[in-house]
């Protein structure tokens, strides 16, 4: 069975600090997909990134970067120079290649203070 663990329940930083959100996953499949979503106070989930298990290249998109390491089953998310608008709940999710279901972690509440 697949599982996603986000050990950090809440993180609070001051604006302009860098912050890393951790995500550890478990799966028996060799083909799988990893995702990050952002849920601002409005409630709607916003897709951020998708990674397949065969692509371990790290990715950078503006202030966002992702570190995928199969050896440690981790897919961590870093926000550089955080801003107040980054305050949200962030979810890591896993989809096994054989199915259509996404399993989500419990989420990390990020608060960026001015």
Partner 1 sequence: SQTIHQWPATLVQPVGSPLSLECTVEGTSNPNLYWYRQAAGRGLQLLFYSVGIGQISSEVPQNLSASRPQDRQFILSSKKLLLSDSGFYLCAWSGRQGEELFFGSGTQLSVL
**Which residue's CB is nearer to partner 1, number 79 or number 107?**
107
CB of 70 to partner 1, least distance (A): 17
Residues engaged in binding partner 1 (CB under 8 A): 31, 33, 35, 37, 42-45, 47, 50, 52, 89, 91, 95, 97, 99-107
Alpha-carbon distance of 86 to 96, in angstroms, equals: 29
**Which residue's CB is nearer to partner 1, number 81 or number 98?**
98
Alpha-carbon distance of 82 to 36, in angstroms, equals: 17
**Which residue's CB is nearer to partner 1, number 23 or number 89?**
89
CB of 89 to partner 1, least distance (A): 7
CB of 53 to partner 1, least distance (A): 10
């Amino acid at each position: 069975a697949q599982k996603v663990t986000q050990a950090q329940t809440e993180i609070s930083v001051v604006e302009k600090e860098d912050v890393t959100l951790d995500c550890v996953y478990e799966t028996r499949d060799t083909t799988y997909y990893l995702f990050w979503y952002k849920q601002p106070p409005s409630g709607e989930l916003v897709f951020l990134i998708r990674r397949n298990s065969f692509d371990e290249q790290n990715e950078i998109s503006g202030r966002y970067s992702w570190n995928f390491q199969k050896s440690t089953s981790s897919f961590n998310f870093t926000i550089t120079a955080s801003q107040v608008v980054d305050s949200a709940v962030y979810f890591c999710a896993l989809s096994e290649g054989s199915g259509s279901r996404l399993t989500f972690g419990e989420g990390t509440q990020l608060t960026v203070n001015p």
